[in-house]
Structure 1
Amino acid sequence: MTSPLRRIRVALSLGAAIVLTCAGALSVGAQTTGVIRGKVIDGATTRPVDGAQVYVAGTELGTLTNSDGQYQFAVRAGTVEVRTRRVGYASTTKQVTVTAGQVTDADITLNKAAIALDAVVVTGTGAETEKRKLGNTVATIDAAALRNAPVQDVSEMLAAREAGVSVLPSGGLTGEGARIRIRGYASLSQPNEPIVYVDGVRVDRSGGFGDYIGTGGGGSPSRLDDINPEAIERIEVLKGAAAATLYGTEASAGVIQVFTKTGSRGSPRWDFMSEQGIVADPKNRYEDNWGFARYANLGDCVARLPDTTSTQSDCRGQPPFADALSQFYGTTVTTYTPFSRPFFKSLLETGYNSNYSGSVSGGTPSVTYYVNGRYARENGPWGGRNLGPAQDLDHSAQGSASLVLLPTSNVKIRVNAEYVDRFHQTPSNNNNIFGATAAALFGKPELAECYAGSVRTGTGQCAVPDSLGKPIPGTIGPGNPFGQAAFATVRENMQEQIKQNVKHFTGSLNLAYQPVSEIALEGTLGVDMVNQISTDFAPFGRDVDKFISSDPDGFKTIDDRTRREVTAEGKVTWTKKLGESFQSTLVGGGQGFVAKLEDAAEVGEHFPGPGLEIVSAGSTPTTYERILETVNAGAFAQEQLGYRDFAFLTVGGRYDRNSAFGKTSEGVFYPKASISVQPSSLPGWAGAAWRSTLSTVRLRGAVGQSGLQPGAFDKFTTFGPLASEPGPGLVPDNLGNANLKPEKATEWEGGAEIGVLHDRAAVDVTYWTRVTRDALWLRQYAPSGGFRRVQLSNIGRIDAHGWELGLNVLPINRSDVSVKVFANTARLHEIVTSLGGAPPLKVGGSYPRYRNFVKEGYAPNSLFGAKLVQPCSDRPAGATYACLQPGENAYDLNGDGKFDTDADMLACLTPLGATNPCKLTSLSSLLPVRVDEDGDGDFLDHYLGKSTPDWAGSFGLTATIVKNFEVSSLFEYKVGNYTITNLTYAFRNANPVIGRNSQRAAEVEATMLNPASTPQQRLAAAKEWLSLKALSPYDGLNQNENGKFLRWRELSLAYNLPTTASQRLGLRYITLKASVRNLALWTGYKGIDPELNVYGRGTADAGLDLSGIDPNFGEAIDAFGLALPRRFTFSVRFGF
């Protein structure tokens, strides 16, 4: 069997042979060509413009300007039309006469503009096309414009840049990847992550730790962030099916394509960057842990024993008394007086990050190169080093290289390679009973002690969190200094280490050949390979506090995930003038992918002794393995017809076949059509009176289809192994479906771009609507057929529509001061029109706390749960369900079947205990009355909101002051029917064992239990309890909040040393920068962070792995995670 490395060597050898063959033509080409060189500058500031595209119109000849604004390339002798364009600037054209064997100088001046319709895009267009010719939107994110922004990875480069593109961070652990949604949800069961390309090659867009290792949800890395941000030139984003048709199956969730940098002709230019920073978690987002002492001392406990048969031993199992707590904390603790300790805050520290990058670029007229290396390391804000080895750490070494050969004026060869070696470590976290973060939030200060539970013996030293307490003098042994009541102590959870090592390679070879001026041929061959090894290890003797009962002898899991995807594409473009008025551009070609995923895991549990850290040392080893392979191939064609360079009609389509389609399903065809009209390009517009006010107008519209295919094995009926005492056997597993076909999304969009005041201000508005038919959904059949598992079927439908608005304004554009203000917003409305008769499904399966549902007639990700009986004044007219009359409360404490008045409640609110007349023994006895509005007997089916906002967007500015100072700022917001599940505080308020440690809950419980409380005090506390009661059987109650927020996402200040000063130091430039990310947050949300989510960046291998309902719709669930940290960075860039 041929190994992957051998195949790579063969491919590289073939590429080298092609390069050497083409190199023989270099001397011949030089005899008939000349060279154009020059400098591109900003018309207002006269500073060089880097990254500008300078090219000969109608050819593939051209280059990008370097950081000094310089360019140089070879062309055939004669008079040529040189065009220059750059995002953020108006394009320009210049006639240049080139003499064979000579160098011709041509300097170019660009003026800033708020609208750039001449910008060229590639993604989804079949060939390089100016935006003004397209009827659909293609977003472009210019990496050069972000050179001073506080971004560390691709996810942050995408965040808050473009309307309709949502980058969803899941938490504040270092190296944690973000989920990406474009125009909401395109599928009910398949991955809603966009597909990702790098230089035309499909790459791994998954995340997490593989199939068999979980962290609790947070800290999961993203393979998208393996891409070197320093090597990126630009990112193009297709937002939906109308734009992504030519990408066929898998593209309905959107397409992201990353283009890496290339070199330009000239002597070697070296660029370096060094960045240092600190990472600080916002401690004000965490409420202290609250509690209270029940007894003053042992004597107090004995005196309150319920009967004479009880002895002092009955008090030994009680929580520590006030006298012991006073001694432990070094402060006075009195009974029934709530006090607090910052347990969680004590585990936070100031993290540190560093980032180093270096690159070299240059070349000759026929060969250019660009090489970049980057090393990044961040030790995050999670601390607790004195408690255990778990930490949040991420470091990566990245390398990128690009080689472009122009052996003749009509041949271009580009070779690209990207490689990353990445290490990532994170603590167990989020909604995980053995998570370190959850344990700290569960802590109850009245339970804290430095003894081994109730035994109060042992060996070793109690690990006490810094500045929280001190060991009781004379005590030794394990302890419980964070006051855990169940599962495990923080120190025991800190023994678990979750790590990952990744080696990720992406390589591509692109050949472009233009035999005649009208025809261009292009081919791309590439491979993306990921070797990912993740481990989850807990040592023998992890029960350092003699508290945990789960795996005290330790365990280790190794997950070995390998993914390889090969991309091949070939296409031909024919451009032809049809008379004086029309121009035709016809593109046709084919594209194919072969993707293979292998994931194997070994688990070893119960080590026989200390010091053993390999899987085979476990006494109960277990192995798992999964292999998936899919093949997708398609042919596409597109015709664009232009009329007098102001109106453009585009029609096209793609025909796809995929190995995941069912036997009875043939291939699928995805059509597209669009129109773009730019009246401002008409000859008469330039001389019109309104030209100075209404400078640019373009109208556009598009319709197209794309799809998502089912999982690789969903069409097969399979059987799984069964281990039994008589021997091995088989049991029904997957219920296959031979009729499976891809989902098909049809999207319409229309919009306009308008520039005013000589394009000093511009607005871009888009309306879109999408229908996903044949949506894949899980249908349950009668178990009597032998299969209890659901069957994937094409039975669903989702309808969605929205608005997107962008605004750019250049209020000041002078040589000394330049200011650009920008804003964007997106409106989203979605509804699940049909599930084909199948019942709704809930995120989290049988776990009752998550209340996110996919249900007909509602937005995907809607929330359903319990409600308390409400006042009759709030009940709709004609409704007959129970309600409260004035003076009534949502209680029936005496059990008479009637709602209690205050008098009824006061009669019951005598001291709680065995003698209480209403049998109220604890706060848990106070059970509010739920309502059943539809009378179906289900108290948990009330609509509580949705976990996606109606509106999301951003705004900010960039400014250049006295040429050398640059300031940029970015704000991001979400608002409108945005509901967050605050599960963290549902537990902290209501759970009697691992909660009731918020201030309000502790005060209510102390008041209810205090024998000295008056009935009136208990009545007030009982009414307060109505707003705190949560969890089963009240799931959904008091755990949802309005999640709207405004976050100051980015702020940076950069100083560019004057050129003369840099040159005196022997450098081309020096830039000093200070920046901060996540500077401030304004929100009414009372949880930890409105952007937290229990489900982190997980697997999203379309066609290789069925993502399912949880990672798709487990949104906006705040459950025991870390808030997004602030990152302060200071950097220096210089070049020579």
Structure 2
Amino acid sequence: MTVLDAVTRRPLPNVQVSVVGTQLGGTTNSQGVLHMVGVTAGAHTVRARLLGYAPVVKAATVTSGSVTKLEIGLTQSALELSAVVTTGTGGSQVEARKLGNTVANIEAPADAPIRSFSDVMQGREPGVVMLPSSGIAGEGARIRIRGNASLSQSNEPIVYVDGVRIDNGGSFGRGYIGTGGGGNPSRLDDIDPTSIDKIEVLKGAAAATLYGTEASNGVILITTKKGTQGAPKWIFDVEQAASSEPTSRIEPQYGFARSDTAAQRLSYHYGFPVQAFQPFTAGNFATRLFQTGTSTMSNAQVSGGNNLVTYYGGLRAYVENGTFTPSNYNWQDRGVNMRNLNNKYQGSLSVGITPSHTFKIQTSVLYADTYNEVPDNNNSIYAPYTVALFSKPENAQCDASKTSPTDPTYGSLGNGLCKGSGNPTGASSFGTIRELLQPSITQTARHFNGRVRTSYIPSAELNFDGTFGIDFTSQRSTFQIPFGNNIDLRENRANNGLASIDDRYHQEVTLSLNGGWTHNMSKNISSTLNFGAQGFITKDNDESSTNQNFPGPGITVVSGGAQPQIFEAFTSIVNAGYFAQEQLGYKDWMFATVGARNDYNSAFGKTSGGVLYPQASFSIIPSDNPAYNGTALSKAFQTMRFRFALGKAGRQPGAFDKLTTYGPLTSPLGGPGLVPANLGNPNLKPEVSTEWETGMELGFFDNQYSVEFTRWQRTLKDALVSRQFPVTGGFTALQLDNIGGMQAWGWDTKVKAFLVNKANFSADVYANIGFLSQIVTDLGGAPPLKVGGSYPRYRNFIKQGWAPGALFGAALPAACPTGQTKAKGGGLCLQPGQFAFDVNKDGVPDDATTLLNYLAVPRQLAALAPLLRDDSLSGSGLNNYLGKPTPDFQGSLGGSITWHRNWHLSTNFEYKFGHYTITDLTGAFRRANATNGGNTLLRAQTEATMLNPASTPDQRLAAAKVWLYQLAGLSPYDGLNQNFSGDFLRWRELSITYTAPLAWAARLGASDLQLTLSGQNIALWTKYPGVDPEINVYSRGGANSTGGGTNQNFGEAIDAFGIPLPRRVAFNVRVTY
């Protein structure tokens, strides 16, 4: 069998071919050829499909004892409305054109640089946003589909693999192990990406109604590869990759000597001249923590079978040593333990058994054994990279290594290092860099996902199936600080050692029973009824312990310390529901669907009972109406469809939120006790999202060009909000209540075009864009919620009437309206010639004369306190709106080129823009903080000018303006000079594949040989002044291991000392037998 491009006669590789009604099938090789054996004599129907082409069904007759040759021609099509998609919990499938809602089919190009599930999803579909957070190897991306559908619960979508719910968490547990917020792995990345056949995304409640409770944030359906009849087909992949950090975007640390004596000491220490009040740098202490990261991937796949049994199996090993390295700070061989490793060993197996034409059993198993080591990171005072960024070179000293108070070497080697202990980089107050490299943070996880599905098809009209599956994760995380870690005599944290462990066990049990009845009610009306029931049980146990103060080195077990602590938590949720859906079709071009699901959940309050989630949708395809052909409209648009869908889905509260609970209390005097914990609320019910969407698809120029558009709107009612009840009963903790509301709307547009299609050259391009607008409509009288709680640096709030996570903080007064002395609302404003200072404390903004008199002598920057804008007269100056952390627009663009039949290039760009504001906390510390940071070149120049006795008043005034408008920030001016536009365009992927001549492959005894050179995160275009606009302080589960809560949901776009995303180059060799 040969599959060709119908126009150019070019052979098409990777075409999925199947014989309808059998298990026979496979994919074509690089020459477009597929050999099938075991096909019975007689008439058959062959189906062929390939992304970017219209599927084809062709009849073939096989003669006994002979070889039947078949040629199939595929025609390029920018629309794929006849593609079969999954719609219900039982895996019921239907053509996409019959649905009133969209089902996004995400499929990465075969030669894309894919390392994980996160990479497969990145930048493929508008409205589906992957948030990578940092460049730490092994960190999993967070997922948001059409923004946020909850104010308090997890906003992650639920994920099914072959009909079984999978653990979608990602953290180091709920106990005593923290990383600073970043570096958390995703359990979704335990899935071997090479085992994935397709990914479908139900974007919102209108599409995900049949999945009921927890589906309001969307549903991701992963289908793994299955075997097909035929001889065994083997595929082997090997890949070697290297990664590097964008060090040019990380500014070196600057400082200046405040006296000639200090300059003399620093000159000896660094080995180059340092002059008083002249800014200098000793290099970049932060980028010394980077190296060229490496990774190796090996993969083997096999598939085949006969008419009774088919099989698919895969093994994959991925070993990565990230860009973070401690080796450059291991002078004197004192030992450093912190590393960044990401090792995954994954296996998959699928077996299909067909004992008769009416009965089938399909089993699938996924297994992953993973190991991660991550550095302490982000907003941790003990993170090496953070402290390296904060280092002040003028504070470097080696006093602990001085042989005497008058040691002429100052204890320094004269090359920027100390002879022994000391602080050679001027690290901040929490420890030296190499002291903070002593600990280690690790995680070992074993993840199993398995299921059995039985299908009974008694007739062409009836089908029944049942699925039972288990997903189980066993995860152990450790944190170790060795005995005697204060090797530079600065760190004062567990100097006698500390050991912590956290064991997490997560289990998902899924059971579903489903049926379908398809028949024609009349000549013109078709009917498809789907019905079924589904239940799942989710259990999560977390046990953690920590201990410190060990008797000596070498003891690392938790029981070896003298200050033990223990933590334990467990949750169990049971959900059960039943559903029915009826779809009516008229003449195969008009379709109407209605359905509903009724759910019961153990987390619902006693008075809430069950909840009903209804849905309805319509799909009209005028181009499938025979009367459409020959019309003027058909000449312009060869394909045309209009659709509408409306539905509801929910999200339940936590397992114990409805219960009144008490916690244990231990007294230092001995004896146990109880203390009020959770107030409880028997009326708790799920928060419910109602969503509608409408859209259209148009294909023109013989479907070589296409446009897809979707407009959607969501209303969240009974949103769960944490509020304070009266504390007279002793219950001081916040309690969830169904008092909130939120609205969101947006649109998605996708454009695709096949520009050229010739025998030796073809090219296609695509672009997509999504718009999102969200607003909190109701908090039920509860006060605003703040990300970070009492920590003042994060300025993200949940406020009624504003976008969730909106930023509020300090801003400078604006110019006074013409003829006015006060701002609108009565707040402070500036007259011409005034500055936002009040150095003489007369209550009036200072003019230049006042400031020049004040600056006649050296002044500390801290003495120049900015006046703040307070138009609302709140008294704090921190209620000014500063922006929102989510962009209006998000999308991607790219394309591919094939030339001379054996060269293929594909690329992908991703972008975000529009009222997109990032909190540059990294820059704020480096510009404004006098102790931790305050070390940019502009800061050093400004501060040196202010303190230099030789400076003139005019020079100090110019420096004061720089301080006011560019540098001043942090408490008590939180939000000032730290928020910037995060708009960016990133060249996300580029790959070039060469398909070798058959003669090359034949030398290896193979049928195909492909060589691919690829790159990832190749370039970044942005005006954001920070290191990377995609950095965020909280990674997946970084703020809350359950994925919910204010910090995890709305702690967005906070650049807090994170490691940037690295560039990556990979070379891959694939051989097929």
TM over 0.5: yes
Equivalences for residues 614-763 of structure 1 within 5 A: 614-724=557-667, 725=669, 727-763=671-707
Query: Residues 817-869 of structure 1, C-alpha deviation per residue, up to 9 Å, x if partnerless?
Result: 11110000000000000011111100001100000001100000100001122
User: Which residue matches 1:339?
Assistant: 280
User: Which residue matches 1:1084?
Assistant: 1023
Query: Residues 759-804 of structure 1, C-alpha deviation per residue, up to 9 Å, x if partnerless?
Result: 0000000000000101000111122232111110011111000010
SS of the counterpart of 1:880? coil
Aligned length: 1056
Judging changes above 3 Å, is the alpha-carbon distance between structure 1 residues 788 and 53 closer, same or farther for their aligned structure 2 residues?
Answer: farther
Equivalences for residues 388-399 of structure 1 within 5 A: 388-399=336-347
User: Which residue matches 1:327?
Assistant: 268
CA distance, structure 2, for counterparts of residue 246 and residue 75 of structure 1: 38
Query: Residues 709-732 of structure 1, C-alpha deviation per residue, up to 9 Å, x if partnerless?
Result: 000000001011111125221111
SS of the counterpart of 1:1001? helix
CA distance, structure 1, for counterparts of residue 626 and residue 404 of structure 2: 92
CA distance, structure 1, for counterparts of residue 40 and residue 598 of structure 2: 39
Identity of aligned residues (%): 49
Alignment counterpart, residue 868 of structure 1, candidates 808, 812, 817: 812
Once the two structures are TM-superposed, the CA of residue 139 in structure 1 deviates from its matched residue by: 0.5
Check if 1:414 corresponds to 2:362: yes
SS of the counterpart of 2:452? strand
CA contact (8 A) 1:285 1:1123 kept: no
Once the two structures are TM-superposed, the CA of residue 471 in structure 1 deviates from its matched residue by: 5.3
CA distance, structure 2, for counterparts of residue 663 and residue 360 of structure 1: 52
CA distance, structure 2, for counterparts of residue 339 and residue 352 of structure 1: 34
Check if 1:231 corresponds to 2:195: yes
CA contact (8 A) 2:773 2:888 kept: yes
Which range moves more in the overlay, 79-88 or 768-777? Answer: 79-88
Aligned AA for 2:212?
G
SS of the counterpart of 1:702? strand
Once the two structures are TM-superposed, the CA of residue 63 in structure 1 deviates from its matched residue by: 4.0
Query: Residues 989-1046 of structure 1, C-alpha deviation per residue, up to 9 Å, x if partnerless?
Result: 1111112101111111111111111111110001111121111111111110000000
CA distance, structure 2, for counterparts of residue 1134 and residue 135 of structure 1: 42
CA contact (8 A) 1:795 1:836 kept: yes
Judging changes above 3 Å, is the alpha-carbon distance between structure 1 residues 76 and 713 closer, same or farther for their aligned structure 2 residues?
Answer: farther
Check if 1:894 corresponds to 2:840: yes
Alignment counterpart, residue 967 of structure 1, candidates 898, 901, 905: 905
CA contact (8 A) 1:1055 1:1072 kept: yes
Check if 1:370 corresponds to 2:312: yes
Aligned AA for 1:160?
G
Check if 1:186 corresponds to 2:132: no
Aligned AA for 2:828?
A
Runs of 5+ in structure 1 lacking a partner? 1-37, 298-320, 913-919
Alignment counterpart, residue 1023 of structure 1, candidates 941, 947, 961: 961
SS of the counterpart of 2:1049? helix
Once the two structures are TM-superposed, the CA of residue 51 in structure 1 deviates from its matched residue by: 4.9
Aligned AA for 1:291?
G
Alignment counterpart, residue 106 of structure 2, candidates 129, 141, 144: 141
Judging changes above 3 Å, is the alpha-carbon distance between structure 1 residues 289 and 785 closer, same or farther for their aligned structure 2 residues?
Answer: same
CA contact (8 A) 1:60 1:410 kept: no
Once the two structures are TM-superposed, the CA of residue 815 in structure 1 deviates from its matched residue by: 1.6
Check if 1:773 corresponds to 2:717: yes
Alignment counterpart, residue 512 of structure 2, candidates 557, 569, 582: 569
Alignment counterpart, residue 251 of structure 1, candidates 202, 210, 215: 215
CA contact (8 A) 1:1062 1:1069 kept: yes
CA distance, structure 2, for counterparts of residue 175 and residue 804 of structure 1: 31
Check if 1:127 corresponds to 2:66: no
CA contact (8 A) 2:695 2:708 kept: yes
CA distance, structure 1, for counterparts of residue 538 and residue 70 of structure 2: 47
User: Which residue matches 1:357?
Assistant: 299
CA distance, structure 1, for counterparts of residue 444 and residue 118 of structure 2: 20
User: Which residue matches 1:847?
Assistant: 791
TM-score where L is the length of structure 2: 0.95
Aligned AA for 1:87?
L
CA distance, structure 1, for counterparts of residue 414 and residue 241 of structure 2: 31
SS of the counterpart of 1:937? coil
Equivalences for residues 370-519 of structure 1 within 5 A: 370-385=312-327, 386-387=329-330, 388-452=336-400, 470=415, 476-519=419-462
Aligned AA for 1:178?
A
Judging changes above 3 Å, is the alpha-carbon distance between structure 1 residues 137 and 60 closer, same or farther for their aligned structure 2 residues?
Answer: farther
Once the two structures are TM-superposed, the CA of residue 670 in structure 1 deviates from its matched residue by: 0.3
CA contact (8 A) 1:285 1:1087 kept: yes
Equivalences for residues 184-223 of structure 1 within 5 A: 184-212=147-175, 213-223=177-187
CA distance, structure 1, for counterparts of residue 353 and residue 146 of structure 2: 39
Once the two structures are TM-superposed, the CA of residue 1088 in structure 1 deviates from its matched residue by: 1.2
Query: Residues 150-170 of structure 1, C-alpha deviation per residue, up to 9 Å, x if partnerless?
Result: 121111110110010000011
CA distance, structure 1, for counterparts of residue 942 and residue 817 of structure 2: 28
Alignment counterpart, residue 268 of structure 1, candidates 232, 235, 242: 232
Judging changes above 3 Å, is the alpha-carbon distance between structure 1 residues 969 and 1033 closer, same or farther for their aligned structure 2 residues?
Answer: same
SS of the counterpart of 1:613? coil
Alignment counterpart, residue 1032 of structure 1, candidates 952, 971, 974: 971
Once the two structures are TM-superposed, the CA of residue 417 in structure 1 deviates from its matched residue by: 0.6
Judging changes above 3 Å, is the alpha-carbon distance between structure 1 residues 697 and 458 closer, same or farther for their aligned structure 2 residues?
Answer: farther
CA distance, structure 2, for counterparts of residue 203 and residue 615 of structure 1: 31
Aligned AA for 1:1108?
G
Judging changes above 3 Å, is the alpha-carbon distance between structure 1 residues 771 and 63 closer, same or farther for their aligned structure 2 residues?
Answer: farther
Once the two structures are TM-superposed, the CA of residue 81 in structure 1 deviates from its matched residue by: 4.5
Check if 1:1012 corresponds to 2:972: no
User: Which residue matches 1:9?
Assistant: none
CA contact (8 A) 1:75 1:409 kept: no
Runs of 5+ in structure 2 lacking a partner? 331-335
CA distance, structure 2, for counterparts of residue 729 and residue 195 of structure 1: 39
TM-score where L is the length of structure 1: 0.90
Judging changes above 3 Å, is the alpha-carbon distance between structure 1 residues 837 and 72 closer, same or farther for their aligned structure 2 residues?
Answer: farther
CA contact (8 A) 2:825 2:873 kept: no
Check if 1:885 corresponds to 2:831: yes
Alignment counterpart, residue 1046 of structure 2, candidates 1082, 1099, 1109: 1109
Judging changes above 3 Å, is the alpha-carbon distance between structure 1 residues 453 and 204 closer, same or farther for their aligned structure 2 residues?
Answer: farther
CA distance, structure 2, for counterparts of residue 1056 and residue 529 of structure 1: 40
User: Which residue matches 1:26?
Assistant: none
Judging changes above 3 Å, is the alpha-carbon distance between structure 1 residues 623 and 51 closer, same or farther for their aligned structure 2 residues?
Answer: farther
CA contact (8 A) 1:711 1:1106 kept: no
CA distance, structure 1, for counterparts of residue 204 and residue 754 of structure 2: 30
User: Which residue matches 2:333?
Assistant: none
SS of the counterpart of 1:656? strand
CA contact (8 A) 1:447 1:484 kept: yes
User: Which residue matches 1:1049?
Assistant: 988
CA distance, structure 1, for counterparts of residue 503 and residue 403 of structure 2: 42
CA distance, structure 1, for counterparts of residue 378 and residue 827 of structure 2: 38
Query: Residues 26-67 of structure 1, C-alpha deviation per residue, up to 9 Å, x if partnerless?
Result: xxxxxxxxxxxx4434433532442525353xx686644355
User: Which residue matches 1:303?
Assistant: none
CA distance, structure 2, for counterparts of residue 712 and residue 166 of structure 1: 28
CA contact (8 A) 1:640 1:650 kept: yes
CA contact (8 A) 1:695 1:758 kept: yes
Judging changes above 3 Å, is the alpha-carbon distance between structure 1 residues 463 and 563 closer, same or farther for their aligned structure 2 residues?
Answer: farther
